[in-house]
Structure 1
């Protein structure tokens, strides 16, 4: 930049002063440089020169103030007139894209959504990134219409639930008559050396094993009844009430104790099932928790929380695949219900 451009104000003021001096000199001197016969009297009115200087001073003072740059808006879009506008490349294209007027940079997510949340969409994997580190990707947040910059706003946690394994505790029972008011029940389960028998009166609870599960868990009906058994033949039966699980809001379970059950040795079988789950989000990545069938729980999982909005409503073996189970989880919320079904293998 030249000296003149850098010192414009000084040059302008100096030039004006020189012109003024020239005008005054011409008034006093003739064309030959001598004294002019038309010399101005001592009380000359020089107000026009003062007005000029005042005007120039005002101009210079105004230039010292910072200039106001107003944003340029085109179709509601603020355009920086001094900085180039960034361009992007859409998935599968080499053509530059203007995120205001061009096609979506990432398929399935509008450019407007990225702009509204101030998220950099220049990364090729931007949809798979997790802006607020809550375990849900930008694409998942977009699909759920949640805020990708707020950890307290996230999609349904059921999306991130994974079933690790199913644990099955088998209890087998058979019975024989003892007298008119009681029967003898023989018991065995999947725990080692858990085999015993007990005399049980009609209408009484059993098994009475202090400190051991099951302890007073079952209640025998007050009398027997005739029913078609697993082999299709009619036989004597007793109804048994299983008082567990005792989760609030769930019904007590009943089962039929046939005289000759379908298992080897004539045993009838009931099962306690539980599933090990992992929530791959909300800071619980890498940790797992166990939920029993019909149990209610919270997400993020809190072992101290009771009667959470989530419930394992079913753990059932798939027909023909004894070691593979269907696990159904239900989420009840205000005005709605959401369910997810998992395919989970039996714990080895």
Structure 2
């Protein structure tokens, strides 16, 4: 029976275990230049030391006004590559594989003077009203995603994740709540996402898997549900997605907002539904911080990989602790071995 510490392989990506550190924004860029700094280095490399199989670097944006805040990472410039390459190289030295989440915040770009979106619909009453992108600008946005993926590959990543969840730009195009366009990107709500996927694949090595994070359900009146997300995920799978990272909601109008979100593993049924409907590998995420619970998600074949977010923010060595709890053998850093009981 498979478990949390069973190795996993897909295409050219080989993971020593099935634990994923999901992308979690640090809002820690110091000069508003999108360049990773010593905080990011310590943050990610410590999780590699702590035994994580796959680290996905936080939401990294394709243009300055695509950031949630001016303190987010970016990959719109070659100057941003070396700092990320340093993190990736060091993480590799400790046995972790590294991905990066490429994204654009769309109407949720809080520090943009005028955010952009599929349609001129504000996120909420406190947010700026975005400007609707022209058809040409949407096509140019696809190119910005492509170039960001190119830079990520140059930095040495092992996989790419596209952010199609949580009310950000790709999600905004796929949601009928936020896409009221009449051009080709409104006639086919999946078109922008499919074009971004194909652009990303054109820059990735053939054996590098592409991950896409999606919100499988919108917890808001009039929002889409699991049957709708299965339908658009099939389109994204045909376009080239190899793994889906299954989340839900977002914030504000497109939100879980605590519904349900208050109990452990509340998103696992969504991951299982996508996995079964598409026969595709999935990453489960959402309140899976307890090792026994995370292990059961793998053992019960609900998902292929498990993302542990808040648990890793609290404990960079979550994986080492989980191995102890589950009585699994793991390669401990020799410097820490005295602190852990022998299995």
Q: After TM superposition, is the score higher than 0.5?
A: no
TM-score for both structures, normalised by structure 1: 0.20
Larger strand proportion of the pair: 1
Structure with bigger gyration radius: 1
More helix by share: 2
**TM-score using structure 2 length:** 0.20
Quick one: higher RCO (CA 8 Å, sep 6+), 1 or 2? 2
